[in-house]
Structures are given as C-alpha cells and as structure tokens.
Structure 1
C-alpha cells in the first residue's frame, strides 16, 4: 500500500539521488512494489517467490534490498500471523523530490561522498533552486485576517511545514551538555540550538559517528561573530574531525549483518546491569543518581566537561571514571584526580564502559599484588552514606531511607558495598539474601 501520493519527479530522485546510496536492487524492489500494487485484484496476499521472479534474485537479496529501503526511509514493514502463515504488509513511503533531497543534510552529504564533489554540485545546481533573496518584504496576510469562524481550528491556521515529507529516522541526542557549554561561554542557546540546527547536529553525529566533545568543537568552530551557526562550516568541521580519526576511510553506506531473528540480550549479572547503565545514561544523570536525586552542581559539570573535551573520552567511559573517582575519594569529585586518570585511560584508547571497567580492574589487580599502600588505582572503602539507587535491585521499590535508622539498614548497605567491591575487583560476590532490596 502507498502512504501518500508520490512527487511528480520521484523517478529522477530514485535514479540519480537514491540509487547511488542504496543500489540498483533496492530501487528496483521499490518500483516493483509500487507497480505490483496496481495489479492487486483482491486483498489476498502473494508469496515472496513472485518478487524473486520479478527481480531475478534470491530471497536473501530481496531481504537485504528491503532493509535498505527501510533504513533510507522509503518503506515500512508490518508483520502478523494469520492461521498457519506469516503475512508481511509493505507500506511504500514517498521519496524526497529532487529539490527537497538536497535540503536533508545527511542524505546530501552521503551523496556527495558517494559520487564525488563535482558530480554532486552538478546535480544540486540542476535540481535545487534557491529562492531569490531580494523579493522584498513578505506582506502575505494570515488566515485569521481574512476569515472568521466561531471556533477557529489550530490545525486550520497552522502553516504547513516546509518539509512535510515521510518521517525519517533520526538519532536522539542529549543536548544538555551542549546547553551547559553554551551557557558557560555566554552564548545564546536558543539562537544556536534551533530546531533546524538540532536536526543538522543529530544527522552529522549519525553520519560521522562523532563523540560529544567532537560535536562541541565543531559547533564552536562554526559559530560566526553574531553567534549564528554556519551550517557549511559545521559540516566541514565534522568531516575534518572524521578524517583526522579515520584517515582515508571513505564515507559510504555499508550494510550491517542483521539477522531477522536478532534479539537484544538482557543483562543477567550485577556487573552487566551496571555496565549497561553506565553505557546509556549521561554523566549528569550519574552525578544526580549518586547524590540521591539532587541536582548536579555547575562546578562538577564544568570539571567533567573540560576533562571529557581535553582527553577525548566518550560519555560511557567518563561515567566509569566519575564513578571510580567518587568511590576513591569518599564521594568528592576532584578535577585534578579526574585529569590524572583520564589521561591514562585516553592513552589506553578506551572506548566503552565495559573496557573502562575491565581496565580499572586489571590496574587494581596489578597494584594489589605488589603494593601494600593505597595507590591512585586502588579503591578506598566505600562511603556509608550513599549507594546509587539504579545499582540496587531494579525490580524492587526504591523506597530506601536517606538516613540510617537502625542496625539492619546498616547491614544491608554494607552488603551492597561488598557486592560492588567484588565486581570491581573481578571476584564473584558471595550469595546474599536481598529481601531488603
């Protein structure tokens, strides 16, 4: 089925703009599904063998082509069980018209890397015509200045969005760090992080795989004297950062090995739960969790951000580092201590929370073997006041007293600390009764 009418020049988009990105099989599958819809005489489904015959490719190639269409935003797939058969329904989405294609930052950048600069600009000059900038003042009057109704509809007078096309999958990014960074530099947040700029930043992160500190560098580089984000300068900065890390690696769409029955493995052990949490939350959330839900201080956030940017640590690694330093320093966050360990981890090229946890454990074991005194990589006894709520049993209610009221509560807290210490030392924690949560 078709979601909406296609643009009149959609075939030009498929041939010249989409085909270099997703290949001939995917484009041919799209066109086959589109014309097959017209041949359907009834609602009875056909087998995929029909598509295999039309395209003259095996079923696994049909499946790969389908995934490319889904990923690029040209197809939605629905699956349901009917009696003894599995029925797939394909909803065809409209491609961008050629002029709209070049308004999408990620797709246009991908096309440029795929076909080369000269050919890209030739296509852009042919298909994308910018509106003249010297049209004068826009004096068009609004709906409510011409018409009057008893109950005006918000939807009726709402202007149509410029790109009211099929929704494309875009990465969700936590902009809280960038907001804090801009505020610290007295840069107007609303002027920089507009809706269009947020979309552009999200797309560049997805395209180039940038870390948060790299995005901040690119944004600051591309800001004009009037604190306006120069989009072309920002794209160039992102690309330069990518090249500095990956050298001659080309930017191109590559296929992931996706299995139809691919499932996400749930964390089973205490350590896996901790690592998963450290991989997904932001350092700001971690600080607030470790402080019992209280708001993180500006001083701590500034120290973390500066260390992240200077040492180039990803957020999950920074989470492990913050957790490590807090436990070592009796819940005090020392910037000097952060920098000392961060420089070591940066040289070790640690990229994930799991790698950081394993590295911390291996370093601790090395020092424990030959040193009697505590070193910068040995955990000190854990504080008796605070245990992060998210590290406790998540299936139990989180109604823990903030003040230790009796001896039983003290014993439970000590059990929690013993388990955490066992994880960090690489030893299995003894089995304990967690009835108290």
Structure 2
C-alpha cells in the first residue's frame, strides 16, 4: 500500500490523552500484547506521542516525528492507521489557510488483565503468537492466583442484596456508552437476532446483554461470519438456563471459520484499498490480458487456483499437501506460488509434478520473488536466457521452450497439446486455438471471482 503524500512533513499536530490515567502496567501490555498485533513501529509511535504531551507548547510539525523515530513519513502514517484500527488513537483534522493540523487523541491501552477480558484481542493474540506463548502470557497476567488448600467463600451479590423487578412503566436507565478503548469496529443491528431468539422462546434481553453484544460483534468481525453463522454459534453456545457460554461461542465461531477457510490463518492484515479514492482504484484495474492474469494470480489462493483449473472441482488432498510442503520449505509467497503452479501444470499436461515443482521453486526462492508479476517476468527472462545460451547445444532445460509472439507471457499460453513426436512449428490455426484457450481461461477466472463475491 502506498501511503506517500497522505501527510506532509510541514503538517502540524497536537497530542492529548483522552483518559488522564494510564494503567500502571500499560507498558507491559504494549510490549507483550499489542506489539505482536500492530508491530514495533506503531508501538514506538504511541509511546513517542504519549511522552510529547508534557513537552508541547505549540503545534509540532511531522518533521519532529521523523527525527524521533528515524523512519519515513509514509511509515509513520501506516503506524498511525494501525493505532486507530486497534483502538489506541483517535485522529481529528483541521485545515487552515496556511497549514493542516492534526489532533492525536491517545486512548489508554488495556491493562494486561483487561486485555485478556476482550474476546477479539484475545483471539487475535492467540493466532499471532501460538498456543504455547499465549498460555504463558495468560497464566502470568490474567489467571487468578489461589493459595493451595483454600476455598473461595466470598459472598455474591444475591447473598447480600435483594432486587426488584421493574414494572412496565419503570424508566430504564440510559445505556452506558461503549468504552472508547478496544478495537475500533462498527456496531451491528441485533434486531434480526432478537427476532430469532423470540421465535424460539429464548429471553433475548438476557442473551443479548451489553457484554454479549460486544463479544458477538467482535467475533463476527474477526472471523468474517454471516448472520446465519452467528445465529448458529449463539444457539450452540446457549446453556440449559439460556445463558450464553462465551467460551463455547468463541470456539463455535472459530470452528465455522476453519470449515470455510481451512488454508487461511487469522492475522491482522492491512486492507488493500485503505485511503484510496475510486479514481485511484479504477486506474489500477487490469486492462490488458496480461494485467488481468497478474491480478487474478495476485488475489487468488493456491487452493482456489487448482479448483478453477479443474472446472470448479475440489483440489485433491495430495496436490494441496505438495503445494503446502513446497511453500513451507522454499518460503514462496502465495502469488509467486500461483505462478509456479500454473507454469508447471501448463508445461506438464496439467499434471502437478512434485519434483518439477521443487526444482523451479528452489530457483525462484533464491531469486527472492515477492509478487506474481515479478515471477512472470523472471520466468520469461530465464527462458530467454536458457534458450539463447543452449539453443546450439540442444540443452533441454526446464526453461527452454518454444518462443511465441503473444502479449501474454510465453510460458502461460504454451500447452503440450501435440504428441512428442511432432517437430513442425505451430501453424496459424494452432495459434488461434491457443488464443481461444487463454480467453476461455480468463473468463473462467472472472466467473469464479464473481461467484465468490456473490456467495460472500
């Protein structure tokens, strides 16, 4: 994502702390709990802004932050967005005739104990650092410590106090506003769930209390679940007393996510279109066949690619295992792996040869390829180099294939449609057939992508 120009070095800023008190152990939270989620630069920016409050007498320019942090301004802007999204910063903007000034309102971080009471942050941390490290941190910061041999005899609220049932005309107190700290996510309309619970004679008010609404909203956002999937998880997690078991609900949401996205880990990733105008997005839309192909290979998963090339059939477990092993061993990004899969399939009569895959993967891994476009350009250059070097020697290199004049990369459109004994060059009719195959493949991608959007 390109953030250059979002803020300028001469733009001014003030800093304020929304809540004047910070948890005593807030630095432990920032270091051990928030940093795995938002990264070191975002935590550095937060602490820098926090300690500038007592020093500021007038608006500072962003030159100051660049000097403090020793990082370019686009990275500062990226770190700011992460703080805003995770719920640690609120930004206000004021445009004057001479300067743009920002007000950075810092929101206090959770204490370690409060952090582990937030369902969404807890789940995110678990997926980022793994079970062993998560259990160690949770045990250290959140779990209650009891002396061996003792029992808890603390009186409960109902042991001490009596309550009364309000009448119909009783005025309900105004609902407490949602706390400003925590992940900054949009609230959802629960009317559909209230109706569902009432139809099943389940007390909606008790199930959808304020805390449960917050947790349901977080899990819906975290796992990208549809309304019917959230309903299913809620019903699964209800106890015999019609109370929502939060732990059971979180596990049900996670299980539904795994069923839908078995190949995708839960991690915080930046949205690709953050801060872009519609004109900027339109300019980046693929126009040529080659750009369309690159776009698809950049945005599709290896599993979906195999299914698309199999006319929508499920990818075999064996093929997925081979791809997973190669990606893990060679450390290839998903877009590069897509190019490699496509290349090997088209060169091997749609057979996924593990040996062939590993041979080229090791080469591409050493070249440190990151994008589908880089992989396609690299493959084409290597083919040309091997062809020129070995044409006279007749070396049968894995890059040495016949040349074509199509705009789409040569390796992408070549297919072994002829018998191995044929040595004549392709005629015009064969080239036209290849063009039709490429066009059909692109239509297949487009149709698959549209169907995925509709299903989502």
| TM-score of the two chains, using structure 1 as the length reference | 0.53
SS in 2 for 1:39: coil
- Following TM superposition, by how much is the alpha carbon of 1:33 offset from its aligned partner in structure 2, in angstroms? 0.8
The match for 2:237 among 209, 218, 222 is 222
Flag the 1:185–1:349 CA change in 2: closer, same or farther, 3 A.
farther
The match for 1:68 among 73, 82, 85 is 82
- Following TM superposition, by how much is the alpha carbon of 1:130 offset from its aligned partner in structure 2, in angstroms? 4.4
The match for 1:30 among 46, 49, 61 is 46
The residue number in structure 1 matching 2:31 is 15
The residue number in structure 2 matching 1:235 is 250
- Following TM superposition, by how much is the alpha carbon of 1:349 offset from its aligned partner in structure 2, in angstroms? 8.2
Hey, what's the Cα distance between the residues in 2 that align with 1:51 and 1:16?
A: 24
Hey, what's the Cα distance between the residues in 2 that align with 1:163 and 1:121?
A: 28
- Count of paired positions: 258
Flag the 1:36–1:348 CA change in 2: closer, same or farther, 3 A.
closer
The match for 1:206 among 182, 207, 221 is 221
Which digits, 9 at most, give the CA deviation of each residue in 1:76-100, with x for residues without a partner? 1111122311111211110001111
| Conservation of the 8 A alpha-carbon contact between 1:100 and 1:163 | no
| Conservation of the 8 A alpha-carbon contact between 2:84 and 2:184 | no
| Conservation of the 8 A alpha-carbon contact between 2:193 and 2:231 | yes
Hey, what's the Cα distance between the residues in 1 that align with 2:180 and 2:136?
A: 24
Map of 1:21-100 to 2, 5 A cutoff? Answer: 21-40=37-56, 42-43=57-58, 45-100=59-114
The residue number in structure 2 matching 1:341 is none
Hey, what's the Cα distance between the residues in 1 that align with 2:180 and 2:97?
A: 36
SS in 1 for 2:95: strand
SS in 2 for 1:12: helix
Flag the 1:264–1:166 CA change in 2: closer, same or farther, 3 A.
farther
Map of 1:184-333 to 2, 5 A cutoff? Answer: 184-260=199-275, 262=277
User: Which 4+ residue blocks in structure 1 deviate beyond 6 angstroms?
Assistant: 139-142, 158-163
The match for 2:189 among 174, 178, 183 is 174
- Following TM superposition, by how much is the alpha carbon of 1:200 offset from its aligned partner in structure 2, in angstroms? 0.9
SS in 2 for 1:38: coil
- When the two chains are superposed, the root-mean-square deviation of aligned CA atoms in Å is 3.3
The residue number in structure 1 matching 2:317 is none
Q: Is 2:154 aligned against 1:135?
A: yes
Hey, what's the Cα distance between the residues in 1 that align with 2:62 and 2:145?
A: 45
Flag the 1:165–1:130 CA change in 2: closer, same or farther, 3 A.
farther
Flag the 1:159–1:9 CA change in 2: closer, same or farther, 3 A.
farther
The residue number in structure 1 matching 2:432 is none
- Following TM superposition, by how much is the alpha carbon of 1:261 offset from its aligned partner in structure 2, in angstroms? 6.0
| TM-score of the two chains, using structure 2 as the length reference | 0.51
- Following TM superposition, by how much is the alpha carbon of 1:123 offset from its aligned partner in structure 2, in angstroms? 0.9
SS in 2 for 1:179: helix
Hey, what's the Cα distance between the residues in 1 that align with 2:43 and 2:33?
A: 11
Instruction: Give the gaps of 5 or more residues in structure 2.
Output: 1-15, 147-151, 163-170, 281-447
